[in-house]
Amino acid sequence: MHDFAAVPWYLSDEIYQAFRQSAADQADFFASHADWLEAALEHERQAERYGVTIIRVRMELAAFQQWCEIQNRVNDASARSEFAELRAERMINWLGD
């Protein structure tokens, strides 16, 4: 299997701001979706230089909040990353490596 990294992916400013406003670590977010997107794309380019495939995981607040409730987690960077990793792994398994 190839190396991959799951990245929480926010499709719009509205979604990004909703996650930001509900997060325990709001101060760690970029001020805008545009700023986040610029940094995320640069992160992708750097990872790909090292042979790491980036899997963009579309973030949906309702699904994430439900997962947090079941897992007894708060909306923070660790939870968002774990959620994205689990979704990416499920997708890879479904596709059959």
CATH of the domain at 31: 1.10.3100.10
More confident residue, 23 or 93: 23
What pLDDT does residue 96 have? Answer: 65
Separation in Å, CA 71 to CA 47, 68, 87, 96: 29, 5, 14, 27
What pLDDT does residue 2 have? Answer: 56
What pLDDT does residue 1 have? Answer: 44
Give per-residue pLDDT as tens, 48-63.
Answer: 999 999 999 999 999 9
Give per-residue pLDDT as tens, 21-48.
Answer: 999 999 999 999 999 999 999 999 999 9
Annotate 64-79 with b (16+ C-beta within 10 A) or e (fewer).
beeebeeeebebeeeb
Looking at the structure of the chain, the number of domains it has is 1
Domain range enclosing 35: 4-95
The tokens describing 25, both together, are 């670590």
